[in-house]
Structure 1
Amino acid sequence: MGKPTTVVFDVGNVLLRWDPRHLYRRIFDDEEQMEWFLGNVCTPDWNLEQDRGRDWDEAVALLVKDHPTHEPKIRAFHERWDETVSGVFEDHVVLLQRLREAGVPNYCITNFSSPKFALSQERYPFLSGFDGIVVSGDERLLKPDPAIYRLLLDRYGLEAEDCVFIDDSKANVEGARKVGMHAIHCVEPIDLAAELRGYGFPV
């Protein structure tokens, strides 16, 4: 594989600091109870279905039916979703801006609910500046399904070997590599600038 020319970003926990605990620490006084709730009621698997395109009202109704005593806390995941994002990875956003200023093509593949991604674009305008975006909730495909990576490549006329993909999930990184992309597993305390310079990018 030659040197890539294009950078493809994930969003959650690469550019945005996302964790439902940012919200639920404001709701629960007890950390153990919060962890039980997030492990048994508003679970990662439940949330992932919204990333796959399930309607939020439907998702909330399903949980309220099974856990009626937790209804206000369940509804908070939807109604106060913006509080699950505590901010951005400032250094990574700076890198993204440097890539754009240098004319480096930049794209995004993200597992994200469609309406929540639109909300995030309003709050964080840099999310609207990509040369192309694939949102799982729009496509009803989730990383690491090879189809979602190929969708980006086909839609925007990209070659896999020309792209380096950045994601915090090891499974998603491996998924990108399986379709022929370079990939960086982005978990703190990574020096993402050094990783990108290693591929020859001007950051």
Structure 2
Amino acid sequence: MKPEAVIFDIGNVLIEWQPERYYDRVYGEDRRKALFNEVDLHWMNERVDRGEPFRDVIYETAETYPHWRAEIRDWHDNWIMLATPVIDHSVTLMRRLRAKGVPVHCLTNFGVESYAYAQTQFDFLNEFDIEFVSGRMQVTKPDPRIYELVEEGVGVAPGAILFADDRDANIAAAEARGWQAHLFDGPSGWADRLVAAGLLTEEEAKP
């Protein structure tokens, strides 16, 4: 079935999301490893992605581990430095799909306030037909409920959705609902998938 809607994940599909890289650069690898071993920063971020207040969650965590206060607060105060760089070819693919009239949405694990802030920094985040943001929905991938809500929102059959995400579990959950899905490991492979689906020509899929 030719897809009738394309859905992009954001982290590591449109924007690189590798917080460890920021901490390695700013504090050094040894200190980063010690921090991440002691403090579950990814669970902290999951709370934000589920809709808890961005600053409150991070600053609360920082006060729980005062000897790491500055490093943990960086997750909020220097957040934009954790969410870089943009994956330019993916943005190009998104825009070329939209230029051809293909409905393009996002489905992302992202906090309410952090997503609003990201939209002020990355103009393409304002270009989706529908934004499915976990913090607003108060459920994260790969919970089946978030995929159900997306189906209700886009209004096409599950088999007519083509979804790109960088995590195996998120892809498996989408496929379990009958979605077409692509495990993203770089924009070139995603471009090839869009060509194979008949949504872009080879020329349109180039960087």
TM-score, reference length from structure 1: 0.92
- Which runs of at least 4 in structure 1 moved beyond 6 Å after TM superposition? none
Matches of 2:153 and 2:62, distance apart in 1: 39
Question: 52-61 or 73-82, which moves further after superposition?
Answer: 52-61
Cα shift readout 1:48-78 (whole Å, capped 9, x = no counterpart): 1111111233322432343111111111111
Q: Equivalent residue for 1:130? A: 128
Paired amino acid for 1:178: A
Q: Give the superposed CA RMSD.
A: 1.6
Residue 9 in structure 1 maps to residue 11 in structure 2:
no
Kindly indicate whether the alpha-carbon contact (under 8 Å) linking 2:23 and 2:29 is maintained by their aligned counterparts in 1: no
Q: CA deviation at 1:91?
A: 0.9
Q: CA deviation at 1:85?
A: 1.5
Cα shift readout 1:22-59 (whole Å, capped 9, x = no counterpart): 4323430x312212212322521221111111123332
Matches of 1:91 and 1:182, distance apart in 2: 21
Q: Equivalent residue for 2:199? A: 201
Q: How does 1:36-185 map to 2 (within 5 A)?
A: 36-185=34-183
Residues 201/82 of structure 1: CA separation in 2 closer, same or farther (3 Å cut): same
Count of residues in Structure 1 that have an aligned counterpart in Structure 2 = 201
Secondary structure at 2:48's aligned position in 1?
helix
Residues 159/82 of structure 1: CA separation in 2 closer, same or farther (3 Å cut): same
Q: CA deviation at 1:196?
A: 1.1
Kindly indicate whether the alpha-carbon contact (under 8 Å) linking 1:23 and 1:80 is maintained by their aligned counterparts in 2: no
TM-score, reference length from structure 2: 0.91
Kindly indicate whether the alpha-carbon contact (under 8 Å) linking 1:22 and 1:85 is maintained by their aligned counterparts in 2: no
Residues 106/156 of structure 1: CA separation in 2 closer, same or farther (3 Å cut): same
Residues 86/22 of structure 1: CA separation in 2 closer, same or farther (3 Å cut): farther
Paired amino acid for 1:3: K
Matches of 1:43 and 1:90, distance apart in 2: 27
Q: Equivalent residue for 2:18? A: 19
Kindly indicate whether the alpha-carbon contact (under 8 Å) linking 1:22 and 1:86 is maintained by their aligned counterparts in 2: no
Structure 2: gaps (5+ residues): none
The percent of aligned pairs where both chains have the same amino acid is: 33
Structure 1: gaps (5+ residues): none
Secondary structure at 1:12's aligned position in 2?
coil
Cα shift readout 1:108-155 (whole Å, capped 9, x = no counterpart): 110001111111111111111111111001111000111111111112
Matches of 1:168 and 1:191, distance apart in 2: 12
Q: CA deviation at 1:164?
A: 0.4
Kindly indicate whether the alpha-carbon contact (under 8 Å) linking 1:112 and 1:135 is maintained by their aligned counterparts in 2: yes
Kindly indicate whether the alpha-carbon contact (under 8 Å) linking 1:42 and 1:74 is maintained by their aligned counterparts in 2: no
Residues 13/70 of structure 1: CA separation in 2 closer, same or farther (3 Å cut): same
